[in-house]
Amino acid sequence: MKGRVLRDFAPEDVERITKAFHSWQCELEMGEVVKGNTTTLVDPDPSWIYMDQPGFCYSATLQEIAKHDFVLTPGRYVGAGAADAETEPFQERMDKLTVTLNDQLSRQTNHKSRSSQILVHHGISNNN
């Protein structure tokens, strides 16, 4: 992932998407793959059976799409997947956040002081 909304696909990602799409296109029932008007007997591979996966894929019905005024924004149907596990230890993350907060509070104080000086310079009463 390059970010929350931008992702470079690795070969594994492309394979996963391709597999989900092809399994969605096909119906696996008792060893038969039905594709269009052609039925082929196969050994069912459980990894090729289509299943909705939160945050990844969802097969919406036409009625569901109509209910959303035919808006095809994926998040309306797919939803969010399980949150990624934190890769940074909690204490390190908390220390960084504390430093950031202290920096922001210090800058707030500096901005408030500078704003007061500007108001006084222009003859405006500063009650704070």
Residue 114 belongs to what domain range?
Answer: 87-128
**Residue 73 sits in the same domain as residue 99:** no
The last residue of a domain, from among 78, 95, 119: 78
**Residue 72 sits in the same domain as residue 25:** yes
DSSP 57-95: B----HHHHHHTTT---HHHHH---PPPPP-S-HHHHHH
5 located within any domain:
no
| Edge-to-edge order in the sheet of strand 32-35 | 27-29, 32-35, 38-41
**Residue 67 sits in the same domain as residue 95:** no
Q: Tokens at residue 9, please?
A: 């696909």
- Please state the domain count of the chain: 2
**Residue 73 sits in the same domain as residue 91:** no
pLDDT at 99 over 90: yes
**Residue 93 sits in the same domain as residue 70:** no
Q: Is the pTM of this model over 0.85?
A: no
Give the mean pLDDT of 97-119: 90
> Sorting pLDDT into bands at 50, 70 and 90, what band is 108?
very high
| Cβ(79)–Cβ(54) below 8 Å | yes
**Residue 19 sits in the same domain as residue 69:** yes
| Cβ(33)–Cβ(40) below 8 Å | yes
